[in-house]
Amino acid sequence: MKSILMPFFLCFSVLFYAQKTDFQYSYKATYNLEYQEDSTDENSILSESFVLYLSDGHSRYSSLGTAIEDSIGGSEGSEFHYMIYKNYKENQLILTEKITADKYKFKYKQDLKTIDWEIQPENKEILGFTVQKATGSFAGRNYEAWFAPELPFLDGPYKFNGLPGLILEISDLKDDYHFSLTEFQEFEKPVTKTSNLDNYKLVSQEELDQFRDDNNRDPIAAMRNAGLKIAFSKKEHEIETRKMLSEKYERRNNPIELQE
Amino acid sequence: MEKILFIILSIFVLFAGYSQTEITGQVLDDKSKKLSGATVMISKDSVSSILAYGISDADGKFKVTVKSESESLFLKVSYIGFATFEKTILNKAQQLVVELSPSSEALKEVIVKSEILQQRGDTLSFSVAAFKGKNDRVIADVLKKIPGIEIRPNGGIYYKDEPIQKYYIEGLDMLEGRYNLANNNLSADAVSKIEILENHQPVKVLDSLEFSERASINIKLKKDITFSGTATAGIGAAPLLWQARVTPMVFTKKRQAIVTYQSNNTGVDASGEVLNFSQNFYGNNFDIDKENWVSIQNVSLPPFSSERWLDNNVHLLSGNILQRIKKDLDLKLNISYLNDYQQQDGSTQTRYFTPTDTIDVIENTNNDIFISKLEGELTLENNADKNYFKDQLAFNGSWNAKRGLIDRPDTRIMQQMGNPFFGIKNDLGLLRTVGKQLITFTSNTGFAENNQDLLVKPGQFEAIFNDGEPYEQLQQLVSTRKIYTDNSAGFTKALGKFTIAPKFGFSIQNQQLDTDIFLEDGEEVLDADFKNRTEFVESSVYFKNSFRFKSKDETWNLSLSTPLEFKSFRLDDDNFEETRELDRLIFEPYFSMNKKLSAYWDANASAALRYDFGELQQLYYGFLLNGYRNLNRYNAPISEETRQIYNAGLGYRNPLKQLFLSASYSYNYSENNLLYSSNIGENGTTILEAVALDNNSDNHSFRAGGSKYFRKMKTTLKLNTSYNLSKRQQLLNNTLAEVNTRSLNFRGSLDAEISSWLIANYSGNYTTYTSGFEDGDFQTIETHQHTLDLYFYPKDNQYLSAGGEYYGNSLSENGTNYFVNLGYQFTFEKPKMDLNISWRNILNTDTFINAYNNEYYYVQSSYRLRPSQVLATLKFTL
């Protein structure tokens, strides 16, 4: 019997490891985003929390839900599933996103410098920090940002960066997207977040945006195409669910980055 | 604070008098290392706002251009982890070197609103309010919208493609797997949250010892004491149709109860509501399922919804109660009773091919089926942190009767069948922690009794029973009893990343089969060839060290299991001296692997070895009349089959192009020690016997499929094909024949969103099935199916659906079937009610004509459908 079993147990010794990278962060900034989902409906204001993990020379930004998903798994019902890694040494920004029940992993890269900021003389106070105003335009929207020179991070929510101090508040002039800091803390010990950016397929921003759009338009078809079995007890139920999802898709017509 | 060094290397005055000043320089740390990313800020003085700023580059160098009339400027240089450098400088172009010294001073922390993340482990919580649509009534309507959740047509709930483990309401598992009852009737308004417990281990003792990959669902209610439920009432014509259902329920912290009563004659299968999806976690080799030894001739059922063909009259009553006796200790009682009367009408034409002949049988069938079934379960469960105890006593009784009339061109045959059944079992499971390991003990014991009889008038198989002369009647009596016990003890121990769980046990099952055949006036057939007095003992001593290993990183997924078992079989018959015995040590390894080749490609492969041994249904010596024209016996050694199963597949999924392709191949090879011999008589009577002769069979199957989404047309096109090739040996009318079958299938579908108020679906299916012996094919049947469905949404609170179907086959002369159905739903806001009107079978097609073939025969059948009917139902929550 032993001789029969041996080949099977030999299989165990073959273990496979993937390359993983540990990122360490010492600070965390939490933002609340209020955004108008439907550009035609002023009452369609939604909000969500985002976390920006900061360290010397790099940072990671995502919705709170995506951050929880990343650490414990599962789906947290966030509307924003991407993570943005900013690397100041390489002057590079990487956006990664898992789409369709985490079946697909994509990323795109772009230059860190996205905005030519103009410093304005106005000051105000946010949560006890003195902040100064700066203005700039990005992806079809004009922004007004408030940064805190006391917090010497060149960072901010979303892709915003490059001011001499952390951006504590930023909104576009139509106020469709409004980020404001709710929390800033320093960790006693740096926290480690593991991720393997090599597992994400490099595509262009246009490709990723197009695919995200396809997925949002018909998530059921997307999941089926990805090999997940989704059945309904009656065809009517499926149609009803699809109808609901497609209404949601139509409402969601006001992205942060506009087509230029 | 430490002293800050500031060195001015040199000063160049270039554009004195100009208001624009360029300040350049370099930032270094205390060890003269270049600091990149430091912020350099210039303001008028220490309190005013920043005028200009710069950021140090990879060499630590910066450049700031300031426009200011002021004589002096204030310079600030910051970097994380270093003290901020501050200095008043002259408003002159200059080059500076700034050396920063480390600082441990913390940055100011602020918290506006505390967002304390609860340690929720693997629990995902969904607010019902967020997912509930305005047309959603019961919790199933909401559940099916949650990502990852799927509700299959029979009501089974799957999460990420795996069946859920438990369905809790407020943390209590009242229904023991019969969750359809709650899912379809608990009002969504009463529920606050749906929690998905991922990797849920329902047995607390096993938590942290045995990793579970499956999820459970917990329904959180809004109130501590909840009364809920739904009621449906429907009426229709013609003839008079009714549909009624009332399901009240109550939930408190310590007691839960659901009662349901349902009745309809509209073809709805009520038993689905009490289907049990639970899975026994400690495994069980034996059960008290009802066995059918005899049957009356049936007509194959149509492939669409039973509401269009099932002629029924059903009543179902079910009660479920849970009482929490004390912390972690629950007592549960689940009882249901179902009564149904069904009628079946149809006709079949069967053609048998033998190596020498073809035989045709024409039968018009008319069946009456009476079903009466009682099931109950009493459970005591103690699920504490250190101990687990569960004892479940279940009983199962049914008193079914069937009457069948067969009209053949020259004769009319009556069949009458009764099959009362009773079974009772007790399952006990005990787990206890001793030190750091876990001791497991299970004991399952059961008893079941079947007394079936089949009466056929006039008698068949005249050559065997009455010297070739016609005779009045033939009756088969079958009586079976079985008793089993399966006991095991084991322990579970965690060793780092692995868990080992050796289990030692023994099981024994004793089955007794007594059969007799009687002719007219109670005359018994005394020949021992037509009697069974069989005792079959199956015992097994097993050592299952189901060592599982799973490497689940980003690209590889491997799995291997290696169970070992010693099985022993012994069969005695009073009428035969010889005893049949079989002892085998079996090892059934299973290996599978999955590899992600690139972002879009993945490959998988698996291999398995399986052993199957004869069950009592294929082991009796004496002939048994299974159906009015089927006599079977297995006068041969115990059957033994070894199967090898291989599978490989390749997938390509490119979501950017919305193109998805997959292909797979699988191969099965099996070796069997018995060959089955069929002797088909002129009037279709079949005598089946087993012959000891080593033989093998194999099967190849290929599959390929693809789908593509066309963005501009909002349309998805899907195409699939499969090809199957199989070969096996068969004795047909005493001639050894190799039967080959080939089947080819094409499926296609189009899904189009034509406008926001109109969705259209089309699907088509084409199959050919060919069978033949070595020397040639004898039959090919082509079948086609086309379905078109249109869904209109004129308003938010109503929808209209219209569907058309076509079924056809190449064999039947009038084998084309057309159907049209209409449905309409209106939702009232106040009071909350759904009105549903459906008009089924508008063309009033009276029969469904179908054809299919098997290895050596084909069947054309027609099934009488329900006529064109209109039904209106009103559904509301209690």
Distance, in angstroms, between A211 CA and closest chain B CA? Answer: 5
Contact B150 A57 (CB under 8 A): no
pLDDT at B357: 83
Cβ-proximal residues to B250 (8 Å cutoff; 6+ apart), any chain: B225, B226, B227, B228, B256, B257
Number of Cβ pairs < 8 A linking chain A and chain B: 214
Please indicate if any CB of chain A lies within 8 Å of the CB of B285. no
Distance between CA atoms of A166 and A158, rounded to whole angstroms? 12
Distance in angstroms (rounded) separating the CA atoms of residues A220 and B759: 15
**A235-251 helix and A205-217 helix, angle to the nearest 10 degrees:** 140
Report the gap between the CA of B661 and the closest CA in chain A (Å): 9
For A12, the 3-state DSSP assignment is: helix
CATH label of the domain that carries residue A35? 2.50.20
Residue B381 exposed, middle or buried by CB count within 10 Å (0-12, 13-18, 19+) = buried
A-proximal residues of B, 671-690, CB under 8 Å: none
Burial of B152 (0-12, 13-18, 19+ CB in 10 A): middle
**Token duo for residue B53:** 């700023």
Q: How far apart are CA B664 and CA A224, in angstroms?
A: 17
Residues of chain A in contact with residue B152, where contact means CB-CB under 8 angstroms, are 231, 233
Q: Does residue A232 belong to any structural domain of this protein?
A: no
| The pLDDT value given to residue B45 | 84
Type and span of the H or E element at B560: strand B556-561
B796 CB near a chain A CB, below 8 Å? no
Choose among A152, A162, A242: nearest Cβ to B78: A152
Distance (Å) from the alpha carbon of A180 to chain B's nearest alpha carbon: 11
Which positions ≥6 away from B170 have C-beta within 8 Å?
B218, B219, B220, B221, B251, B253, B256
Q: Do A101 and B36 touch (CB under 8 A)?
A: no
CB B459 within 8 A of CB B473: yes
A16: which 2 tokens?
A: 């496979």
What is the structure's pLDDT at B548? 55
Q: Is A84 part of any domain? A: yes
Please give the pLDDT value at position A94.
94
Please name the residues between 614 and 673 in chain B that touch chain A, using a CB distance below 8 Å: 651, 653, 655-656, 658, 660, 662
Q: What is the mean pLDDT of each run of 10 residues along chain B (878 residues)?
A: 39 47 89 87 85 88 87 88 87 87 74 37 65 72 72 77 84 86 87 81 74 80 87 88 92 91 90 74 70 90 89 93 91 94 94 85 95 93 88 93 93 93 93 81 92 93 89 94 91 66 85 92 86 91 65 63 84 83 88 81 91 88 92 90 95 80 94 92 89 94 89 84 93 88 93 83 93 81 92 83 92 87 87 88 92 86 92 88
Pairing of strands B640-654, B715-732: unpaired
| Partner residue facing B655 (CB), from A100, A121, A122 | A100
Q: Sort out which chain A residues have CB atoms less than 8 A from B148's CB and list them.
A: 75, 101
B residues 120-149 lying closer than 8 A (beta carbon) to A: 120-122, 124, 126, 130, 133, 135, 141, 144-145, 147-148
CA quadruple B128, B133, B136, B142: dihedral sign: negative
Q: Does B69 touch chain A (CB under 8 A)?
A: no
* 8 Å CB contact of B658 and A214: yes
CB contact under 8 A, B651 and A151: no
How far does the CA of residue A88 sit from the closest CA of chain B (Å)? 7
Examine residue A168 and state whether it is found in any structural domain, yes or no. yes
Q: Look at residue A187 and tell me if it is in a domain.
A: yes
CB A111 within 8 A of CB A98: no
Q: Per the structure, how many domains does chain A have? A: 1
Residue A239 inside a domain? The answer is: no
For A141, the token pair is 């929207």
**Cβ of B84 under 8 Å from any chain A Cβ?**
yes
A200, part of any domain: no
Q: Per the domain annotation, does A112 fall within a domain?
A: yes
> Closest approach of chain B CAs to the CA of A143, in angstroms?
19
pLDDT tens profile B535-552:
999 998 887 765 555 555
Q: Do A225 and B109 touch (CB under 8 A)?
A: no
Q: How far is B495 from chain A (nearest CA, A)?
A: 15
Q: Do B658 and A1 touch (CB under 8 A)?
A: no
Place of tokens 């690397």: A87
Nearest alpha carbon to residue B838 among B825, B819, B828, B826? B825
Q: Hey, are the CB atoms on A149 and B799 less than 8 Å from each other?
A: no
Which residues in chain A have Cβ-Cβ distances shorter than 8 Å to B153?
A: 231, 233
* Number of helices and strands in chain B (H, E): 4, 50
pLDDT at A12: 35
B55 touches chain A (CB under 8 A): yes
- Structural domain of residue A31, as residue ranges? 22-195
Q: Within a domain: residue A252?
A: no
Please answer yes or no on whether A152 and B79 come within 8 Å at the CB atom: yes
- And the tokens for B737? 């024949």
Report the amino acid identity of residue B795: K
Tokens of B757: 């108020």
Min Cα distance B554 → chain A (Å) is 7
CB nearest A201 (choices: B36, B120, B599): B599
Indicate the burial class of A133 (C-beta count within 10 angstroms; 0-12, 13-18, 19 or more). middle
| Contact flag A199-B554 (C-beta cutoff 8 Å) | yes
Residue A163 and residue B53: Cβ atoms within 8 Å?
Answer: yes
Domains detected in chain B = 6-99 (2.60.40.10), 123-264 (2.170.130), 270-733 (2.40.170)
Q: What is the least distance, in Å, from the CA of A37 to any CA of chain B?
A: 16
CB B331 within 8 A of CB B380: yes
The answer to whether residues B673 and B639 touch, using CB atoms and an 8 Å cutoff, is: yes
How far is B512 from B510, CA to CA, in rounded Å? 7
**Does A1 sit within 8 Å of B716, measured CB to CB?**
no
Find the CB nearest A185 among B53, B109, B653. Answer: B109
Contact B538/B565 with Cβ under 8 angstroms? no
CA distance A256 to chain B (A): 21
Task: Answer whether A164 sits within 8 Å of B587, measured CB to CB.
Answer: no
Taking contacts as CB-CB distances below 8 angstroms, the residues of chain B near A224 are 707
pLDDT digits (tens, 9 = 90+) for B609-668: 999 998 888 889 899 999 999 999 998 889 999 999 999 999 887 777 778 888 999 999
Instruction: Tell me the nearest-neighbour CA distance from B53 into chain A, angstroms.
Output: 7
Q: So what's the pLDDT on residue B853?
A: 84
Chain A residues closer than 8 Å to B653 by CB = 103-104, 225-227
Q: Taking chain A (260 residues) in consecutive chunks of 10 residues, what is each chunk's mean pLDDT?
A: 36 37 85 88 82 90 82 63 89 87 82 88 87 92 93 92 93 92 85 81 89 81 70 67 77 82
Interface mutation vs chain A, best among B43, B86, B109, most A CBs within 10 Å = B109
CB-CB contact of B855 with B769 (8 Å): no
Using a CB cutoff of 8 Å and minimum separation of 24, what contacts does B279-285 make?
B279/B163, B279/B165, B279/B177, B280/B427, B281/B202, B281/B203, B281/B429, B282/B427, B282/B429, B282/B440, B282/B442, B282/B488, B283/B442, B284/B427, B284/B444, B284/B486, B285/B484, B285/B486, B285/B507, B285/B509, B285/B540
Residues of chain A contacting residue B161, judged by C-beta atoms under 8 Å apart:
228-229
Length of chain B: 878
Maximum distance among all Cα pairs of chain B, rounded to whole angstroms: 134
